[in-house]
């Protein structure tokens, strides 16, 4: 019959060749590849080394690998030498130490780029799994990634972003299954294993414990408010599973080189009001910046999602939203994790609201038709996304990038990667002068520069201070701030620390004072930094 389609032809249209499914890139693949390319060798690459803390992480990792021991006392400063130091990110340090030994800063940059790219590609995948329409999932991932650029730095906190994403999905899927079909313990019992890893990678392991507490509270509330006996039985099983998992996760968090002392130290650090008020990343966000504006927009969209939801959100979701909102508004460093958590809850809610509006009679016919077309497009794209499951391109790009990193960032004669510390931000030229003069004495500099100086000059010399603020403590940092601000008593710390070399920004308050102090002589000056030497030290 004319116009008819044979079953064989139809099956050919539905079924794609296996090689095509393997090679065809999905949207998840494209997100991964684009982010990885931008961070490893593109426009975002230089952001990764905008913080010098990675410098002491690399040197600590090299020390761990060479000695096969985790440090328990300070290695890098003259003022804290021999004092207890909690290198709670030792496992990350060891990893970047090995990577740097084989591929230099390009390798460290590439590793960081892979972690970031995988985190947001996986976020996109989870949004689709959780029922978000594909265009909406793309939008939310772009928004979350844009908000997170504020902390796109080569540091161990990147792993906490990924761990939080995995942790939340395991908890949330476990709770969902307990509501519909009874508790499934298999997934949640992986959490203690992840905790052993997390507690040795980054202090963000506390986020995992907070999420466990939130879901425990939600389970308790659901158990006592449910009258249906079957649902009550399921909730009881879930609560028992969750309680056991929480207990195991708490115990697992003590499997670190410092045991319970790490928890005490982290608590004292985070509860110190002075430190929280003077460390930039712990300050509340300034919403004049682009990433902060993206976070504010995400908060607004989350409120809209809550307002338009026809089904009452789960208590756990409401508590996570409240916690993520508070955390993001409390400290700038929390914005990326808060953005990820808000996306995971708000995006599916909005997609559900759109779907209900498309089917509802109270929506105008024109708008309903538009929503129907959008939903139909999303479903078609979702089918294509599911078929393109080979992930050939992400694997190929990772292998290619690894090869480039191992060959000094070059692909043939073309320089693709060039990871370095920006000399407009860090004292690159001055550090070279210090190295050439073979200075062996401690150098006083900004805490923000300390990590770079450790990376560049250790073990030739030790710094007076760096950005390990939990190590130095409130009393020392108060004296440090007096010095860099040129306040009365500015030379107290310099005298007590027997400092003969000072490296500070050209336009700092301390620079002006030292220029007027006869005993301090200018040894080197460039556009970024100025190096002073005391008469006795220079001679």
Lowest mean pLDDT among 162-176, 231-245, 315-329, 473-487: 231-245
Please report how many Cα atoms fall inside a 13 Å half-sphere around the Cα of residue 299, on the Cβ side.
Answer: 19
Cβ atoms 25, 393 nearer than 8 A: yes
* Lowest pLDDT segment from 34-48, 132-146, 255-269, 509-523: 34-48
Angle between helices 27-40 and 392-406 (to 10 degrees): 10
Q: Please tell me the distance from the alpha carbon of residue 117 to that of residue 111, in angstroms, as a whole number.
A: 10
> Looking at residue 275, what is its pLDDT?
94
pLDDT of residue 70: 97
Query: What residues contact 32, with CB distance under 8 A and at least 6 apart?
Result: 117, 118, 120, 121, 394, 397
Report yes or no: 333 and 151 within 8 Å, Cβ to Cβ.
Answer: yes
CA pair distance 318, 230, nearest whole angstrom: 24
Contacts of residue 95, Cβ cutoff 8 Å, sequence gap at least 6: 61, 111
Contacts of 355 (CB under 8 A, 6+ apart): 133, 371, 375
In this structure, are residues 97 and 67 in contact, taking their beta carbons and an 8 Å threshold? no
Average pLDDT over residues 121-125: 96
- Model pLDDT, residue 9: 41
Burial class (CB in 10 A: 0-12, 13-18, 19+), 22: middle
**Residue given tokens 């340090």 in the structure block:** 93
CA 250 to chain centre: 22
Give the chain's mean pLDDT: 90
Closest CA relative to residue 397, chosen from 93, 4, 38:
38
Contact 16, 26 (CB under 8 A): no
Task: Note the pLDDT of residue 522.
Answer: 96
Instruction: Report DSSP state, residue 49.
Output: G
Q: What is the pLDDT of residues 232-286, one digit of tens each?
A: 888 888 999 999 999 999 999 999 999 999 999 999 999 999 999 999 999 999 9
What is the length of the chain?
A: 539
* Reported confidence tier of residue 8, pLDDT bands at 50, 70, 90: very low
Question: Rounded to whole angstroms, how far apart are CA atoms 314 and 79?
Answer: 51
Give the residue ranges of DSSP H helices in 204-288.
205-225, 229-252, 260-270, 273-278
Per DSSP, the residues of 241-257 read: HHHHHHHHHHHHTT-ST
Mean pLDDT of 92-103: 97
User: What global pTM score does this model have?
Assistant: 0.92
Three-state secondary-structure class, residue 31: helix
Residue 10, pLDDT above cutoff 60:
no
3-state secondary structure 324-350: HHHHHHHCHHHHHHHHHHHHHHHHHHH
Peptide bond into 505 cis (omega under 30): no
For 28-66, how does the pLDDT look when each residue is reduced to its tens digit (9 = 90+)? 999 999 999 999 987 788 899 999 999 999 999 999 999
Q: Which residue has the higher pLDDT, 91 or 182?
A: 91
Residue 369 has pLDDT above 70, yes or no: no
pLDDT given at position 13: 43
In the prediction, which pLDDT does 387 show?
Answer: 65
Which helix H or strand E contains 426, and what residues bound it? none
- Supply the pLDDT for residue 22: 66
Pairing type for strands 414-415 and 520-525 reads unpaired
Residue 345 has pLDDT above 90, yes or no: yes
| Residue 131 phi, psi dihedral angles, 5° rounding | 100, 10
Which helix (H) or strand (E) segment is 281 a member of?
A: none
Phi and psi angles of residue 300, each rounded to the nearest 5 degrees, phi first: -65, -45
Which range (14-18, 101-105, 295-299, 506-510) has the least confidence?
14-18
The three state secondary structure string of 149-198 is HHHCCCCCHHHHHHHHHHHHHHHHHHHHHHHHCCCCHHHHCCHHHHHHHH
Distances (CA, A) of 28 to 25, 118, 134, 392: 8, 9, 10, 12
Average pLDDT over residues 147-164: 96
């Amino acid at each position: 019959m004319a116009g008819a389609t044979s079953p064989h032809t139809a099956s050919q249209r539905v079924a794609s060749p296996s090689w095509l499914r393997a090679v065809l890139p999905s949207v998840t693949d494209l997100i991964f590849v684009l982010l990885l390319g931008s961070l490893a060798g593109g426009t975002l690459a230089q952001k990764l080394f905008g913080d010098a803390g990675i410098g002491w992480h690399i040197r600590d990792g090299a020390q761990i690998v060479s000695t096969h021991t985790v440090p328990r006392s300070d290695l890098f400063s003259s003022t804290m030498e021999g004092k207890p130091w909690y290198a709670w990110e030792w496992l990350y340090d060891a990893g970047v130490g090995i990577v740097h030994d084989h591929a230099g800063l390009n390798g460290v940059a590439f590793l960081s780029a892979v972690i970031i790219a995988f985190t947001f590609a996986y976020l996109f995948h989870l949004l689709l799994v959780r029922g978000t329409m594909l265009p909406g999932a793309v939008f939310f991932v772009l928004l979350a990634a844009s908000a997170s650029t504020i902390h796109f730095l080569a540091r161990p906190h990147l792993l906490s972003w990924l761990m939080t994403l995995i942790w939340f999905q395991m908890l949330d899927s476990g709770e969902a299954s307990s509501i519909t079909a009874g508790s499934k313990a298999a997934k949640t019992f992986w959490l203690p294993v992840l905790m052993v890893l997390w507690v040795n990678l980054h202090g963000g392991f506390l986020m995992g414990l907070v999420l466990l507490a939130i879901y425990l509270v939600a389970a308790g509330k659901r158990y006592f408010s449910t009258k249906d006996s079957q649902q009550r039985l399921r909730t009881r099983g879930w609560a028992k599973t969750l309680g056991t998992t929480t207990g195991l996760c708490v115990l697992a968090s003590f499997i670190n080189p410092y045991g319970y002392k790490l928890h005490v130290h982290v608590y004292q650090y985070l509860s110190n009001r002075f430190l929280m008020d003077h460390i930039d990343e712990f300050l509340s966000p300034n919403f004049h910046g682009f990433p902060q504006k993206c976070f504010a927009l995400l908060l607004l969209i989350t409120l809209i999602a809550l307002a338009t939801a026809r089904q009452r959100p789960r208590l756990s979701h409401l508590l996570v939203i409240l916690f993520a909102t508070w955390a993001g508004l409390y400290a700038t460093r929390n914005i990326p994790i808060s953005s990820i958590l808000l996306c995971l809850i708000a995006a599916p809610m909005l997609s559900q609201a759109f779907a209900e509006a498309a089917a509802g009679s109270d929506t105008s016919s024109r708008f309903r038709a538009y929503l129907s077309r959008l939903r139909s497009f999303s479903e078609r794209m979702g089918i294509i996304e599911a078929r393109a499951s080979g992930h050939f391109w992400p694997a190929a790009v990772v292998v290619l990038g690894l090869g480039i990193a191992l060959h000094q960032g070059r692909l043939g004669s073309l320089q693709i990667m060039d990871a370095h510390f920006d000399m407009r931000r860090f004292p690159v030229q001055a550090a070279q002068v210090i190295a050439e003069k073979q200075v062996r004495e401690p150098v006083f500099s900004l805490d923000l520069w300390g990590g770079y100086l450790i990376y560049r000059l250790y073990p030739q010399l030790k710094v007076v201070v760096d950005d390990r603020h939990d190590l130095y403590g409130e009393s020392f940092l108060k004296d440090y701030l007096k010095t860099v601000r040129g306040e009365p008593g500015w030379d107290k710390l310099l005298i007590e620390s027997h400092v003969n070399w000072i490296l500070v920004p050209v336009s700092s308050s301390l620079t002006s004072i030292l220029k007027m102090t006869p005993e301090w002589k200018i040894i080197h000056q460039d556009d970024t930094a100025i190096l002073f030497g005391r008469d006795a030290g220079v001679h």
